[in-house]
Structure 1
Amino acid sequence: MTPVLGKRHNRYLKRVSAVLKVWDRLSLPGHRSLADYFWARLVRRLEQEDEPLFRIVKLPEPAQAVSGAEPEKDAWEDLKLRTYIASRCENHVYYEACLERYDPALKFLRQGADGHATFFGSGHGESTLNCYRKILSGTAGGPVMFEKVYSTQFDDVFRIEWLESNFGELLRSRGVLLPEILSLNHGARAVAVYSRFMAAGRIPQKEAVSRAVAIIRVLMDVSSVPSIPEYQDYQSQHIYCQALASARALVTRLRPEANAVLDRITGQVAETPQRYLTHGDLHYKNMLGNGAVLDWDSCGFYPFGYDLGLALSKSLPVSGGESLVAEIQRHFDLDALGNRAQLQMCSLFFCFLFYSRKSSLKLEDGVIIDIFDHLVTVHQRVANDHS
Structure 2
Amino acid sequence: MKMDVEKWLGYLSRFLNIIRPKAYNVIARIVVGAGAAVVLSQTKIVEALIVAAVEFYFGRSDVLREFLNQESSLGWGFGIIALGLVYHLSMTVGVDLVSERLQRLPKYPVLALGVRNADSEEYGGKKIQMRGALCQVPDAAGIPDHVKVISVPRERGGLDLFGGSFTTNFLASSLNSDFYRDRSEYFRTWGGAELLRFTITNDSPILAKNVSVCFVVSKAAGVAMDNTNDDFPTIPSAKKDGMRFLPPVTAVEKYDIKRGHTGQEYIFSWDVGDVQAGTVLESKTLIFLRAERDIEIRTTIYCDDFPEPVNDTYEVKAPTSDRSQISVADLKVEDTEFTKMLDDVVMDGYLRRRAEQEFNKYQHEAQEYLPK
TM-score bracket relative to the smaller structure: under 0.3
Q: Between Structure 1 and Structure 2, which shows a larger proportion of strand residues?
A: 2
Higher RCO structure (Cα 8 Å, ≥6 apart): 2
Query: Which has the larger Rg?
Result: 2
Q: Between Structure 1 and Structure 2, which shows a larger proportion of helix residues?
A: 1
TM-score (normalised: structure 2): 0.18
TM-score (normalised: structure 1): 0.18
